[in-house]
Protein backbone atom coordinates (compact mmCIF):
# COMPACT_ATOMS: atom_id res chain seq x y z
CA UNK A 1 0.00 0.00 0.00
CA UNK A 2 2.82 2.41 0.78
CA UNK A 3 4.39 1.96 -2.63
CA UNK A 4 1.12 2.92 -4.30
CA UNK A 5 0.88 6.06 -2.21
CA UNK A 6 4.48 6.97 -2.93
CA UNK A 7 3.97 6.49 -6.67
CA UNK A 8 0.80 8.58 -6.55
CA UNK A 9 2.63 11.29 -4.66
CA UNK A 10 5.36 11.29 -7.30
CA UNK A 11 2.81 11.63 -10.10
CA UNK A 12 1.13 14.52 -8.35
CA UNK A 13 4.51 16.19 -7.92
CA UNK A 14 5.32 15.74 -11.62
CA UNK A 15 1.95 17.11 -12.68
CA UNK A 16 2.27 20.04 -10.32
CA UNK A 17 5.65 21.01 -11.77
CA UNK A 18 4.76 20.45 -15.46
CA UNK A 19 3.63 24.06 -16.15
CA UNK A 20 6.94 25.35 -14.78
CA UNK A 21 8.87 22.95 -17.00
CA UNK A 22 6.76 23.99 -19.98
CA UNK A 23 7.44 27.65 -19.25
CA UNK A 24 11.16 26.89 -19.34
CA UNK A 25 10.78 25.39 -22.81
CA UNK A 26 11.80 21.78 -22.11
CA UNK A 27 8.51 20.46 -23.47
CA UNK A 28 8.03 23.11 -26.15
CA UNK A 29 9.20 22.77 -29.73
CA UNK A 30 9.48 25.67 -32.13
CA UNK A 31 10.25 26.02 -35.81
CA UNK A 32 10.08 28.47 -38.63
CA UNK A 33 7.61 28.17 -41.47
CA UNK A 34 7.29 29.44 -45.00
CA UNK A 35 3.90 29.61 -46.72
CA UNK A 36 2.95 30.56 -50.24
CA UNK A 37 -0.18 30.83 -52.34
CA UNK A 38 0.27 29.07 -55.70
CA UNK A 39 -2.16 31.47 -57.43
CA UNK A 40 -0.45 34.61 -56.08
CA UNK A 41 2.95 36.15 -55.47
CA UNK A 42 2.17 36.54 -51.79
CA UNK A 43 4.27 34.59 -49.28
CA UNK A 44 4.53 34.45 -45.50
CA UNK A 45 7.33 33.71 -43.04
CA UNK A 46 6.88 33.08 -39.35
CA UNK A 47 7.21 30.80 -36.32
CA UNK A 48 5.19 27.95 -34.91
CA UNK A 49 5.58 26.90 -31.27
CA UNK A 50 4.07 23.70 -29.91
CA UNK A 51 3.75 22.36 -26.35
CA UNK A 52 4.33 18.60 -26.32
CA UNK A 53 2.50 18.43 -22.98
CA UNK A 54 -0.80 20.03 -24.06
CA UNK A 55 -0.32 19.34 -27.80
CA UNK A 56 -1.42 22.94 -28.49
CA UNK A 57 0.54 25.80 -29.91
CA UNK A 58 0.63 29.19 -31.57
CA UNK A 59 1.60 30.38 -35.01
CA UNK A 60 2.69 33.90 -35.98
CA UNK A 61 3.70 35.24 -39.35
CA UNK A 62 4.02 38.21 -41.65
CA UNK A 63 3.36 38.29 -45.37
CA UNK A 64 5.82 39.74 -47.88
CA UNK A 65 3.38 42.68 -48.13
CA UNK A 66 3.67 43.36 -44.38
CA UNK A 67 0.36 41.89 -43.13
CA UNK A 68 0.62 40.28 -39.67
CA UNK A 69 -1.18 36.99 -39.00
CA UNK A 70 -1.57 34.76 -35.96
CA UNK A 71 -3.43 31.68 -34.91
CA UNK A 72 -3.65 28.47 -32.96
CA UNK A 73 -2.53 24.96 -33.82
CA UNK A 74 -2.74 21.53 -32.26
CA UNK A 75 -1.05 18.20 -32.88
CA UNK A 76 -2.32 14.62 -32.49
CA UNK A 77 -1.20 12.18 -29.77
CA UNK A 78 1.39 10.56 -32.07
CA UNK A 79 2.92 14.04 -32.58
CA UNK A 80 3.02 13.67 -36.36
CA UNK A 81 -0.13 15.37 -37.70
CA UNK A 82 -2.02 18.50 -36.78
CA UNK A 83 -4.23 21.37 -37.84
CA UNK A 84 -5.00 24.94 -36.95
CA UNK A 85 -6.57 28.25 -37.82
CA UNK A 86 -5.04 31.62 -38.65
CA UNK A 87 -6.42 35.15 -38.89
CA UNK A 88 -4.67 38.12 -40.50
CA UNK A 89 -4.84 41.82 -39.70
CA UNK A 90 -6.42 42.52 -43.11
CA UNK A 91 -9.42 40.29 -42.25
CA UNK A 92 -8.41 37.13 -44.11
CA UNK A 93 -8.60 33.83 -42.24
CA UNK A 94 -8.36 30.16 -42.96
CA UNK A 95 -7.63 26.64 -41.80
CA UNK A 96 -4.56 24.47 -42.36
CA UNK A 97 -3.35 20.91 -41.77
CA UNK A 98 0.23 19.74 -41.51
CA UNK A 99 2.26 16.53 -41.32
CA UNK A 100 5.58 16.31 -39.50
CA UNK A 101 8.37 14.22 -41.00
CA UNK A 102 10.55 14.99 -37.94
CA UNK A 103 9.78 16.07 -34.37
CA UNK A 104 13.33 16.94 -33.41
CA UNK A 105 13.86 19.30 -35.06
CA UNK A 106 10.32 20.11 -36.20
CA UNK A 107 10.10 19.62 -39.94
CA UNK A 108 7.11 19.02 -42.20
CA UNK A 109 4.68 20.17 -44.84
CA UNK A 110 1.11 21.32 -44.87
CA UNK A 111 -1.69 22.89 -46.81
CA UNK A 112 -4.63 25.10 -46.14
CA UNK A 113 -7.38 27.18 -47.64
CA UNK A 114 -8.45 30.74 -46.94
CA UNK A 115 -12.15 31.47 -46.54
CA UNK A 116 -11.91 33.16 -49.95
CA UNK A 117 -11.07 29.74 -51.43
CA UNK A 118 -7.41 30.54 -52.10
CA UNK A 119 -5.03 27.59 -51.55
CA UNK A 120 -2.00 27.91 -49.24
CA UNK A 121 1.01 25.59 -49.08
CA UNK A 122 3.18 25.39 -45.96
CA UNK A 123 6.70 24.18 -45.19
CA UNK A 124 7.88 23.83 -41.55
CA UNK A 125 11.65 24.11 -41.15
CA UNK A 126 14.03 24.07 -38.16
How do strand 81-88 and strand 106-114 relate by DSSP bridges?
unpaired
Asked whether the beta carbons of 39 and 15 are under 8 A apart, the reply is: no
Please say if the pLDDT value at position 19 is more than 90: no
Band (26; pLDDT cuts 50, 70, 90): low
Q: Using alpha carbons only, what angle is made at residue 92 by residues 110 and 117, rounded to the nearest 5 degrees?
A: 60
Q: Which pLDDT band, with edges at 50, 70 and 90, does 120 fall under?
A: very high
Where do the domains of the chain lie, and which CATH numbers do they carry?
A: 27-125 (2.40.128.120)
pLDDT of residue 39: 86
Cα separation, 2 vs 7, whole angstroms: 9
pLDDT tens-digit map of 77-111: 888 899 999 999 999 999 999 998 887 777 899 99
* Cα angle: 23, vertex 100, 39; to 5 degrees: 110
Amino acid sequence: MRQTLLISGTLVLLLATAPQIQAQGLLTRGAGFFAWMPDSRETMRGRISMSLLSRRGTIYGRTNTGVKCSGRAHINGALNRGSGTMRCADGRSGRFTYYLSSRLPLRGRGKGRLKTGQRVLLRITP
